Structure 1
Amino acid sequence: MNHEPTGIAVAGLVERYGRVTAVDDLSFTAGPGEVTGFLGPNGAGRRRLCASCSRWLPPTLAPPPSMVRPTGTCLDRPISSVRRLTSRLFHPARTGRNHLRVLCTVNDEELTHDELLARASNGDVVVLDVRPREEYNFAHIPGAVSIPVDELAQRLQDLPDGQEIVAYCRGAYCVLAYDAVELLRAQGRRARRLQDGMLEWRLAGRPIQHRGAA
């Protein structure tokens, strides 16, 4: 199959939640390799727009007809091929440019649950919990070291040199692990992020430990 670069063309897009119009008559083109940002307050329709673009699904039809289509060659697996950058991890103190830079740096080097379990059992990585200490005490990944992200810069000496660090926080929507990985790398440490966080870890039935437990 021909895998030419693929962009997105949106024409007259309309998306609704019941009686609420989330996106109204939107048209734009995002060329291959371009980063397109969508800015707006909560409820502005950014996620509905990204969902339509990433699935190539026809949105709500309304006059004039709405359409989202790929430009160039269609993809075999568009959902896994299109990377969506939304505001779900945006920190109010971080600029849009830095937000994109952090995501592009960290997103492609995440560890899965199975990878973390295997590497931690072999002693290949240090598992770092960057949530507040009371959350760590309640439940954490077995063997994880607790250093809240706001203490990390002052406690780098508590982490072994030369060993890769895997940080995690509350869940897939939590920014703390992203900030921790960025800080660690800036200090010359090898650091990666767990693919999600403690919420998904527990929902998947993975082992957990409580502070003081054997």
Structure 2
Amino acid sequence: MIHTRNLVKSYRNKLVETPALINVNIDIGDGEFVAIAGPSGSGKSALFNIMGLMDRPDSGEVYFNDIELGSLSEKDRLNLRRGKIGYVFREFNLIDEMTVRENIELPLLYLNLSRKQRSLMVEEALLQFKLGHIRNYYPQQLTGLEQQTTSLARASVFKPLLVLADEPTGDLNSTDGSVIMDLFSEICERGITVVIFTNSVQDAQKAQRIIQLHDGHVVTESAQMISNRPV
């Protein structure tokens, strides 16, 4: 699915250059649920942005389904983001002027789909994530859990190959965060590869595999025990 080879990324200002990623090599297979874990400053955000095609490395390679992303034009990168990758962020990133239903439908508007196709896919997502009863609510009327569930429905409604999530439970309490992590497990079971970036040990333990970052390096990698996986 997604592979990195010797990724290097630094951020610069007028006075100093700060390394974010140093020779990072990661392999994530189809249908895996992987946690990229580490404290603030470990390189998680830099890796999220590169894997999500929102930034480019200084050197090294990133492969998505055997396509080397560095060779793609900006237009091709945009099409890949819109058609193959779903995104979930800590801040939910819902559009205030749109209802739950309209927010979920939003990524479908970028695809060549009929109104009927879009409607069927949104209805399926509303059912899957149990959001039908609040379909006409606006984000300001929702709880944090409902907002993040809507964000996850939006990220997966078009059945992407990959969902990337950046600190997806950071603005939730532990109970609501656990619900969201179980939803990630559910979409993974439907064949979508899921990668979460987190500093939460509790969240990381819900994944099938943990890749630990520290100071821009991959320091450990471990598979979870089957008993740790949500049923």
Q: TM-score, normalised by structure 1?
A: 0.39
Structure number with higher strand proportion: 2
Greater Rg, structure 1 or structure 2? 1
Structure number with higher helix proportion: 2
Q: Which has the higher contact order (CA 8 A, sep 6+)?
A: 2
Q: TM-score, normalised by structure 2?
A: 0.37
